[in-house]
Amino acid sequence: MSPGRGAAAMTGEPLLDVRGLCADYGAGPGAVHAVRDADLMLHRGEVLGLAGESGSGKSTLAYAITRLLRAPGIITAGSVRYHSGSGHEVDLLAANENQLRVLRWSQISVVMQSAMNALNPVISIGAQLTDVLQAHVPGMSKAARRARAAELLTMVGITPDRLGSYPHELSGGMRQRVMIAMALALQPEVVIMDEPTTALDVVTQREILEELAELREQLGFAVLFITHDLSLLIEIADSIAVMYGGRLVERAEAAALFRAPRHPYSLGLLSSFPSLHGPRRHMIGIPGSPPDLRQLPAGCSFHPRCPYVMDRCRTDLPPLLELHEGNGRQAACWLQDGSAAAPAALALPAPPAGQAAEPAGRAAEPGPAESAAAQSGQVNLRSRS
Amino acid sequence: MTELEVTAQPPVTGAPVLEARSLTKHFPVHQAHRTARGRRLGRGADGRAAGRPVVHALEDVSIALPRAHVTAVVGESGSGKSTLARVLARLLPPTSGEVLLDGRQLPASGAGRRAYTRQVQLVLQDPFSSLNPVHDVRYHLERPLRIHGLGENGASLDEAITSLLERVSLTPADQFARKYPHELSGGQRQRVAIARALAVQPKVLLADEPVSMLDVSIRLGLLNLLGDLREREGIAILYITHDIASARYLADTIAVMYAGQIVESGPAQQVTDEPAHPYTQLLRSAAPDPERAAPPVLAARGAPPSLVSPPAGCRFHPRCPHAMAICADRAPRDFDVTPGHASACWLHAKDLDAAQASPIARPPAGQPALARRPVSEPGKETR
């Protein structure tokens, strides 16, 4: 999806503007605060990655934005402003069911995590595709719906003769492609993808990501891509927001996050993925385990696992602050508020804005031959003579 | 097919602890099973019964696990890597081939099986279902000790359990011993599962995707634990994974499986950095890699074949960008790329004639934007 990298900077008008969003599970004193004070901006044509571990609140945030959060989940505060192409603005959290019905799918659509559960097992995929069109495009003839469904399948690389197939007759990758075709059926402005490739093998995952990049180039939709796989996100996203314990802790351009993380948790996540290049080094990941949302630690919820913890972190919650370096970089860490010098690992120079990731800094630098091979994605067979 | 006799790696000492020779495992397909179009499987186009169909889950797989050595098996789902673990754990009997523990084949009797499981232990992928929710941690660790007669009285049992929990860094041990699985995080549960496997002081640990269900930030901790067990206690470890980067991080040797066969094996870094089999190249090109400056070009397309009727010749040839005439005809044997690094691919054969090495013409795969490499470049250059 990297073709979007340059495009996002040019068409940077806001599309979805999330402010102070809070979502709880349950009410009263026992409520679990799954998302707290989330501020997020998705620009037109952008791929925004939302990274975090299980329980960090990333899926809850996505469902809250689309008002798909099911009971006992409730949205307790905040606003989600959607700026449609025609120029008017809707607060999704204040919209009534009718307004939502108009927006959902045709403007904002969702690709769910598990295609097997999201598709109806007893209805053919052709019927499920035409069902969308029937519900949302009044006056479309049956034949036209059928033709459009065939066109959608072709678009995601499935031959139209599979229209009569049932979900169990398709492979996992094909089911996920059907989900993507359904999400794109009405040419939405925003597609929210919740771990769309997590259950798939790497080769299938890569094929689907390639197709997605092509479709994005054709159709120009923006993507909110949710995953726990930060190494994948850095490759495909324009900018990345990192969540921890229900809060956004860092926001940066993908390359800047990779080369110069500003939050200790982002740094820890980045050093949790073994590299495919360079000498093998002993890595430690992040000690401890993710917090229990029912009993979040006081102060910064990352402090029990943080190697740079200070006294202040145990009592005061750091706000998500705009950093001095600009480029929309934000981090929620007391090390970055300017009162003290940040440790070297969290103060690396960021690459210039809008540039793709280039080897530098903290990561082991691959040799010239290796990086050339990595760039082309090709590794020649050894000569046989 | 493949001998993982690694001589170049430092931690290897002597003969393998566990060795599988030419393991084959076929699963029968039920006759009632029908294909999507309602045809019976196992009948040819003329409707003639073609014998009882089987899933060729493992085909002639040989692997050796030396002491103090991590051997990674890398492959996609359906490649047979979990079947291999189950056959090695003797949960499944092989269709043919043998499994040797310290060079001996243990009898299939109950006593033989007990002696075997005393030394070869399996850790499963999902710690949420591999621990019994109604029992506490202590019970899980006590069971193997009692079954194998290792803890006689209460005091020695307590001691054994404490030391087990400390070995997997679950401290304070007496607190963890009283907890139930639901009180533990995923990483802690997987540590309990590993402690349970270690209870009988096994020589071999078979770990089937031990970290893929866990959060990214705690995966490394588990991998490092496995690495420690290799170094401190000299355990031979089989690490099964779909993640080639984690295999590169942990393993000494990597074996790559495709459609029930080992297609490449060798020292970990050599296999990942200079893959010699087109399938390994495909896996590497598809793996997430933040260092990559441009979007990757996949080294092949398509999906793994049906294992009920696998392709003739090399099982990868229908997807292979380098496929030659001989690939569709004869299955390749292992060719040594360098000593200790073997690849089952005809591109490494030195004595092919022109007809055998002629590229297979194949229609383009329907998606024009997908860059394909020119067919069989490396093969031509050297001829």
pTM of the model as a whole:
0.84
Task: Say yes or no to pLDDT of B330 above 80.
Answer: yes
Distance from CA of B75 to the nearest CA of A (A): 9
Mean pLDDT of chain B: 84
Q: Are the Cβ atoms of B348 and A286 closer than 8 angstroms?
A: no
Q: Sorting pLDDT into bands at 50, 70 and 90, what band is A4?
A: very low
Residue A8, pLDDT > 60, answer no
Which of the pair, B40 or A165, is modelled with greater confidence? A165
Residue of higher predicted confidence among B20 and A324: B20
pLDDT at B14: 62
Q: Which of A2, A280, A380 sits opposite B378 (nearest CB)?
A: A380
Q: Is A157 in Cβ contact with B366 (below 8 Å)?
A: yes
Note whether B76 contacts A374, CB cutoff 8 Å: no
A64 is a domain residue: yes
Residue B380 clears pLDDT 70, i.e. is over it: no
- Sorted by sequence, the CB contacts under 8 Å of residue B322 that are 6+ apart come out as A381, B278, B347, B359, B375, B376, B377, B378, B379
Mean pLDDT value of segment B4-20: 60
Three-state SS at B354: coil
Show which of residues 255-284 on chain B sit within 8 Å of chain A, judged by CB atoms. Answer: 269, 272-276, 278, 281-284
List the single residue in B with minimal CA-CA distance to A204.
B303
CB of A379 within 8 Å of any CB in chain B? yes
Interchain pair A273, B244: CB under 8 A: no
CB contact under 8 A, B220 and A379: no
Please indicate, yes or no, whether residues A214 and A90 belong to a single structural domain of this protein: yes
- Give yes or no for A374 touching B (CB within 8 A): yes
Any CB–CB contact under 8 A between B293 and chain A? yes
Instruction: Decide if A160 is inside a domain.
Output: yes
Q: Give the burial class of B172: count Cβ atoms within 10 A of its Cβ; 0-12 exposed, 13-18 middle, 19 or more buried.
A: exposed
Is there a single domain that holds both residue A66 and residue A36?
Answer: yes
Q: Is B342 on the interface with A (CB under 8 A)?
A: no
Please report whether residue A149 resides in a domain. Answer: yes
Q: What is the pLDDT of residue A172?
A: 86
pLDDT band per the 50, 70, 90 thresholds, residue B30: confident
- Residues A177-188 have pLDDT tens digits of 999 999 999 999
- Quick: pLDDT tens for B156-207: 888 899 999 999 988 889 899 999 999 988 889 999 999 999 999 999 999 9
d(CA B54, nearest CA chain A) in Å: 20
Reported as a single tens digit per residue, the pLDDT across A235-274 is 999 999 999 999 999 999 999 999 999 999 999 999 899 9
On the question of pLDDT at B85 being above 60, the answer is: yes
Specify whether the CB–CB gap between A285 and B220 falls below 8 A: yes
Regarding whether A201 and A64 lie in a shared domain, the answer is yes
Nearest to A377 among B297, B301, B366 (CB): B297
**Domain for residue A7, yes or no?**
yes
**Would an 8 Å CB–CB cutoff place B372 in contact with chain A?**
no
Report the residue of chain A nearest B349, measured CA to CA: A384
For A320-382, the DSSP string reads -EE-TT-TT-EE--GGGSSSSPPPGGG-PPPPPTTPPP-S-TTSPPPPHHHHHHHHHT--PPP
* Per-residue CA distances from B336 to B277, B316, B381 (Å): 11, 19, 19
User: Do A280 and B269 count as a contact with CB atoms less than 8 A apart?
Assistant: yes
More confident residue, A366 or B21: B21
CA distance A125 to A182: 10
Mutate which of A168, A202, A282, A292 to disrupt the B interface (most B C-beta within 10 Å)? A202
Same domain, A194 and A94: yes
- Nearest CB neighbour to B297, from listed A53, A258, A376: A376
Contacts of A274 in chain B (CB under 8 A): 220, 245-246, 248-249
Over 60: is that where the pLDDT of B301 sits? yes
Residue A350 counted as domain residue: no
B7: pLDDT strictly greater than 50 = no
pLDDT score recorded for residue B369: 30
Does A225 reach chain B within 8 Å, measured CB to CB? no
Mean pLDDT, range B350-373, rounded to an integer? 61
Q: How confident is the model at residue B300 (pLDDT cuts 50, 70, 90)?
A: confident
Question: In the predicted model, is pLDDT for residue B53 greater than 90?
Answer: no
Nearest to B372 by CA among B283, B300, B296: B300
Residues in chain A with CB shorter than 8 Å from the CB of B287 are: 202, 276
Chain A residues lying within 8 Å of B350, measured CB to CB: 384-385
Is residue B57 predicted with pLDDT exceeding 90?
yes
CA distance A358 to A270: 15
CB pairs under 8 A between A and B: 189
Q: Does A54 touch chain B (CB under 8 A)?
A: yes
- Find the CATH number of the domain harbouring A336: 3.40.50.300
Q: What are phi and psi of A223, to 5 degrees?
A: -125, 135
CB contact (8 A) between residue A276 and residue B369: no
Angle, CA of A236, B250 and B255, to the nearest 5°:
90
Predicted confidence band of residue A353 (pLDDT cuts 50, 70, 90): low
Give the nearest partner residue to A382 out of B242, B285, B337, using CB atoms. Answer: B337
Residues of B in contact with A294 (CB under 8 A): none
Angle at B377 between CA B372 and CA B378, to 5 degrees: 130
Judged by CB atoms closer than 8 Å, whether chains meet at A378 and B285 is answered as: yes
pLDDT at B249: 95
% of residues, chain B, pLDDT over 70 = 85
Q: Tell me how far apart the alpha carbons of residues B94 and B274 are, in angstroms, rounded to a whole number.
A: 33
The reply to whether A21 and A74 lie within a common domain is yes
**Mutate which of B35, B217, B270, B277 to disrupt the A interface (most A C-beta within 10 Å)?**
B217
Which of A130, A152, A187 is the last residue in one of the domains?
Answer: A187
Q: Find the mean pLDDT for residues B151-156.
A: 75
pLDDT at B363: 47
pLDDT, tens only, B233-266:
999 999 999 999 999 999 999 999 999 999 999 9
B36 chain-A contacts, CB cut-off 8 A: 165, 169
User: Which has more confidence, B290 or B372?
Assistant: B290
Q: Which of residues 58-87 of B touch A (CB under 8 A)?
A: 76-77
Q: What is the pLDDT of residue B218?
A: 87
Comparing B376 with A287, the larger pLDDT belongs to A287
Co-location of A250 and A212 in the same domain: yes
Q: Per-residue pLDDT tens for A145-158?
A: 999 999 999 999 89
Q: Give the best residue of A53, A154, A203 to mutate against chain B (max B CB count within 10 A).
A: A203
Instruction: Give the span between the Cα atoms of A152 and B96, in whole angstroms.
Output: 47
Query: Structural domain tally of chain A?
Result: 2
Least confident range of A149-158, A271-280, A369-378: A369-378
Q: How confident is the model at residue A299 (pLDDT cuts 50, 70, 90)?
A: very high
The ipTM of this complex is 0.81
What span, in angstroms and rounded, lies between the C-alpha atoms of A222 and A43?
7
Q: Is residue A338 part of a domain?
A: yes
The residue in chain B having the minimum alpha-carbon distance to the alpha carbon of residue A367 is B273
Q: For B350, which of A206, A382, A384 is closest by C-beta distance?
A: A384
Single out the residue of A226, A309, A233, A283 nearest to residue B219, CA to CA: A283
Do A140 and A179 share a domain, yes or no?
yes
Question: Do B303 and A204 lie within an 8 Å CB cutoff?
Answer: yes
Task: Give the residue with greater pLDDT, A1 vs A349.
Answer: A349
Question: pLDDT category, B21, cuts 50, 70, 90?
Answer: very high
Work out the angle between the directed axes of helices A172-183 and A202-219 (0-180°, nearest 10).
20
* Nearest chain A CA: its distance from B276 CA (Å): 5
In chain A, the residue whose alpha carbon lies closest to the alpha carbon of B252 is: A280
Contact assessment for residue A309 and residue A48, using Cβ atoms and an 8 Å cutoff: no
Q: Which residues contact A75 (CB under 8 A, 6 or more apart)?
A: A21, A22, A23, A64, A67, A69, A93
Tens-place pLDDT, residues A16-68: 999 999 999 988 888 899 999 999 999 998 999 999 988 888 989 999 999 98
Average pLDDT over residues A114-127: 88
Q: What is the chain A residue with the closest CA to B248?
A: A276
- What average pLDDT does the segment B48-62 reach? 82
Whether A61 maps to a domain, the answer reads: yes
**What is the largest distance, in Å, between two alpha-carbon atoms of chain A?**
74
B contacts of A283 (beta carbons < 8 Å):
220, 224, 249
Regarding whether A296 and A217 lie in a shared domain, the answer is yes
Last-in-domain residue among A134, A164, A187: A187
Residues A183, A325 within the same domain: no
Closest chain A C-alpha to B332 CA, distance in angstroms: 15
Asked if the Cβ–Cβ distance from B284 to A379 is below 8 Å, we say yes
**To which residue do tokens 């980067």 refer?**
B245
The pLDDT value recorded for residue B213 is: 84
Q: Is B34 on the interface with A (CB under 8 A)?
A: no
Q: How many CB atoms lie within 10 A of CB A263?
A: 28
Shortest CB distance from B276 goes to which of A363, A381, A385? A381
Domain that holds residue A83: 1-107+188-276+283-344
Q: Pick from B334, B316, B311: which is nearest to B75 by CA?
A: B316
pLDDT of A284 strictly over 60: yes
* A331, pLDDT greater than 70: yes
Confidence of residue A285 (pLDDT cuts 50, 70, 90): confident
CB contact under 8 A, A356 and B294: yes
Same domain (yes/no): A298, A215:
yes
Partners of B367 on chain A (C-beta within 8 Å) are 157, 211
Mean pLDDT value across chain A: 84
Check CB contact of B6 with chain A, cutoff 8 Å.
Answer: no
Residue A359 lies in a domain: no
More confidently predicted of B341 and A88? B341
Asked whether residue A174 falls in the same domain as residue A208, the answer is no
- Tell me the per-residue pLDDT of B270-292, one tens digit each, with 9 for 90 and over: 999 999 999 999 999 999 998 88
Residues A27, A163 within the same domain: no
Provide, as residue numbers in chain B, all residues whose Cβ is less than 8 Å from the Cβ of A363.
290-291
pLDDT on residue A354: 57
pLDDT tops 60 at residue B6: no
Domain boundary among A187, A206, A239: A187
